[in-house]
Structures are given as C-alpha cells and as structure tokens.
Amino acid sequence: MKVLLNAGPWLPVPPHGYGGIENIVATLVPELRRLGVEVVLATVGDSELPVDEKIAAFPSGKFELLQRPYNQVCGVVPAHQLAVTRRLAEGDIDLLHDHVEAAGLMTAAALGPAAPPALHTLHWDLKKHPELYGAFDGGGRVVVNGVSADQLTHAPAALRAHAIGHVHLATPLAVDPPVTGKQGYAVVLGRINAGKGQDLAARLAHEYGFDLVLAGPVGPYHDADALAAADPQNPDVAFWREHVAPHVDGDRVRWVGTVVGPARDDLLASARVSLFPLRWNEPGGTAIVESLALGTPVVGISRGCLPELIEHGRTGLHTTDERELGELVLKAGRIEPAECQAEAARRFTPAVMAAGYLELYERLLSLTVRIDADAQSATV
Ligand code: UDP
C-alpha cells in the first residue's frame, strides 16, 4: 500500500519544538513503514523523518506566518496543496492520509473520482469551520476520523456522516519512558488559554496549598521576554494578563514558558500530578497520554476525551464539578504511577496507533472498491 501522508506546510517532521500534528505524524510514519506501508510525505524541505519519498513546496516551515493577517498568508496552504495535488495526479498513490486543517479536506473532496480515496484526520475542535463542515460532501471517497470518540459526537451531522471511527493519539514515551524521581508539585502542560483552564488551576493551588508549575506558550509567545512585548489584542495574551498572571507569584505558582524535549519529559515525569482543568472539549489530549506514559496521574474535568483516556480511580481522578478539583489533587497520591505507565504501554503506543490507522485505511479501500464496483455494474 502506498500512502501519501500530508503533514502540511507549517513545521518540519519531526518538529524542533512545539508541533502537535507534526509530532503525531513523526510517531505514526515509522510504525506504518514497519507494517509494510510505503509512505510519501508531503511536508517542508527540512523535515528529517526517514520516508520512502518526500515532497515539499517550501524549503522550510512557514509557521512564523501563521499569526499574520489572512490576506498576507493565504497563498501558503494553496501552494503546498498544489504540490500534493500534482503528486497525486501521477497515479501511483493508493490512499491519501491528510492532516491539513480545512484545506486538506476541501482538496481531497474537490479532486473527484479520479483521485485516490482520502482519510482526513480531524485534530481540531469541530465547532470550527462550520462553513465547510456544516454541509460537507466527500462523494464517497473522502472520509474522516476523530482523535477521540467524544470529539466526533460534537461534529456537525454532515461531517459525522463521513466519520469511519476514531484513533487515539500516541506517544513514543509509552514504549521507552525516562526514569525520574517524583517531586511534590502539580503541573499543567499545554497552551495557556481559557479552554485549558490554567486560571482555575492557579486559583486552586493557592486555595488548597499545593505547588503548581504552568508550562506552555501564551499564544505565539514562548517565554517571559516575548510575552512582555506581546500584542495585547491577542485573546490568549488578554486571558493570561487578566486571569492567570495575577495568581502567578513565582513561588506557589510558577510559569516556566514553553518547555520541549527531554526538559518537558522531565518536568512532567517529576510532577506528582498532571492537571487538566478543562473548560472545552479537549479533542485528543496528547499531553494526557504523555502524562500517563511518564507515570504521572491525571486529575481533571470529565469532558472531551479525558474520560476515555483516564479511568477514574485507577489512572487518575476526574469530576464534572470544578469545585471538587482541588480535593482531587490532594487525593491523587492514591493513584499508582506504575498503573498509569502500564495503561500507556497497553493503549497509547505508536504501534497501537498505527494498527488503528491501518485498519481505517483497509476499511476505506474496501469501501471505495465497493463504490467502484457499483458504479461499473450501473453502467453495464
Ligand atoms: N507541549 C510541549 N511543551 C509545552 C507545552 C506543550 O512540548 O510547554 C506539547 C505537549 O507535550 C503535547 C502538545 O504540546 O505534546 C500539546 O498537545 P495537546 O493535544 O495536549 O494539546 P493541543 O495544544 O493540541 O490542544
């Protein structure tokens, strides 16, 4: 099977720092190749992931343009998608596995019956892009998958009609976690914004008397110097300034900016508990899975993918009631780190994720073979 995997024009694969989708692609591809899938990767020129073939419209990632006004950057994705379309037109690709937000889904559908079948992975909150998702028609050749079951339940009906299942996210840490000792603090790892709820975590740290480390960017700003000169109109910056910063005293509650690579693993593995005070339906929860893999129990709000990933009382504690969250942080000591790691090794390894995608590829291929056969018998 020859698959064109479209990782988009924003960052190399693997990314050098932040990069959720590019990380997942970097985790998936080696396992697919081990399973005998030939991978053509659509990415940027400086991607270093070994693949069977690489195509790129740009020598390096265009991520720094992402925050600019639309009319300045709207050529980036089309230029990348044109390279993808031209490669598909060569006729030797069996299946397109697409990860490009909105435009990837549109391109796959617009290519029509001559193009290979396409699986588009929805990495996003599906309340986004109602103009596209609300009336989507994939013509029988384009299907979507979620990164959790919960995510798909919130999809518009037209998009849900194209869903062929979900595949949970995975992390290489589930196979080979570093060994680290525990310290007393709780951590929130993720982009700092209202949906991720760092303000609630910070208030609870003061109220219940536990140490809290916040790690992650505020909008595009990765450290205190960048944040000091930030655009105050940015909604994440406004959220930080109004709701989080007043609780960050550098002692009980600290912000350490974006932490990547082994430092991130060490920060998460050494924490006593990993907090997810969610106010949105977290679609896939990479950081939740990473936390388990590193033996750090998860405490959070029962919404989005969290209850699918975390078994209450065994690998973490969760509640629908924000007021109960502080109590749960104090009770998290009853969760065994080894149990969390065993769960990650069973459910969230790269091999498990790749087997999930291979199953979806095979289902999509048999689905489209049936459509072709039906079309042929209708013309005879
Ligand atoms: N992350 C990181 N450093 C940080 C904050 C986050 O490396 O300071 C990583 C985190 O480990 C995870 C990803 O960014 O791999 C965030 O993915 P998740 O699905 O948790 O949230 P998203 O940002 O996609 O909503």
pLDDT at position 373: 63
Residue 200 shares a structural domain with residue 311: yes
Q: Which atom of ligand 1 is nearest to the CA of 196?
A: 25
Query: SS3 of 320, please?
Result: coil
pLDDT at position 367: 87
Query: Measured in angstroms, how far is the CA atom of residue 279 from the centroid of ligand 1?
Result: 16
* Token pair belonging to 202: 């910070």
pLDDT digits (tens, 9 = 90+) for 291-324: 999 999 999 999 999 999 999 999 999 999 999 9
Query: Measured in angstroms, how far is the CA atom of residue 17 from the centroid of ligand 1?
Result: 10
pLDDT at position 70: 92
Asked if pLDDT for residue 38 goes beyond 70, the answer is: yes
pLDDT digits (tens, 9 = 90+) for 329-364: 999 999 999 999 999 999 999 999 999 999 999 999
Out of 99-103, 193-197, 274-278, 370-374, least confident range: 370-374
Residue 139 shares a structural domain with residue 260: no
Q: Which atom of ligand 1 is nearest to the CA of 290?
A: 11
Q: Which of 124, 227, 264 maximizes ligand 1 atoms within 8 Å of its Cβ, making it the mutation to test the pocket?
A: 264
Name the domain count of the chain: 2
For 277-313, give the DSSP string: --SS--SS-HHHHHHHHTT--EEEES-TTHHHH--BT
Residue 304 shares a structural domain with residue 165: no
Side by side, the strands of the sheet bearing 298-301 are: 253-255, 212-215, 186-189, 273-276, 298-301, 316-319
Q: Which atom of ligand 1 is nearest to the CA of 23?
A: 15
Q: Could you give the angle at the alpha carbon of 14 between the alpha carbons of 274 and 293, nearest 5°?
A: 30
Residue 201 shares a structural domain with residue 183: yes
What would the mean pLDDT of 135-139 be, rounded to a whole number?
A: 95
* Token pair belonging to 166: 């979900």
Asked if pLDDT for residue 380 goes beyond 60, the answer is: no
What would the mean pLDDT of 206-230 be, rounded to a whole number?
A: 95
Q: Which of 188, 191, 305 maximizes ligand 1 atoms within 8 Å of its Cβ, making it the mutation to test the pocket?
A: 191
Query: Measured in angstroms, how far is the CA atom of residue 130 from the centroid of ligand 1?
Result: 25
Binned at pLDDT 50, 70 and 90, residue 370 comes out as: low
Dihedral sign computed on CA atoms, order 200, 206, 209, 212: positive
Q: Which domain holds residue 79?
A: 2-170+350-379
Query: Measured in angstroms, how far is the CA atom of residue 294 from the centroid of ligand 1?
Result: 14
pLDDT at position 18: 80
Count H helices and E strands in the chain, helices first. 16, 13
Binned at pLDDT 50, 70 and 90, residue 64 comes out as: confident
pLDDT at position 153: 96
Asked if pLDDT for residue 132 goes beyond 90, the answer is: yes
Q: Which of 259, 278, 286, 290 maximizes ligand 1 atoms within 8 Å of its Cβ, making it the mutation to test the pocket?
A: 286
Residue 296 shares a structural domain with residue 261: yes
pLDDT digits (tens, 9 = 90+) for 2-30: 999 999 999 999 998 888 999 999 999 99
Residue 319 shares a structural domain with residue 354: no
Dihedral sign computed on CA atoms, order 32, 36, 42, 47: positive
Residue 206 shares a structural domain with residue 112: no
Residue 219 shares a structural domain with residue 117: no
Residue 198 shares a structural domain with residue 247: yes
Residue 99 shares a structural domain with residue 218: no
Q: Residue with the nearest Cα to atom 2 of ligand 1?
A: 260
Ligand 1-lining residues (CB < 6 angstroms)? 18, 20, 23, 189-191, 215-216, 258-260, 264, 284-287, 290
Beta bridge partners of 221: 218
Q: Residue with the nearest Cα to atom 12 of ligand 1?
A: 287
Question: Which CATH number is 46's domain given?
Answer: 3.40.50.2000
Asked if pLDDT for residue 374 goes beyond 70, the answer is: no
Residue 154 shares a structural domain with residue 187: no
Residue 160 shares a structural domain with residue 279: no
pLDDT at position 29: 98
DSSP secondary structure letter of residue 248? -
Average pLDDT value over all residues in the chain: 95
Name residue 95's amino acid: L
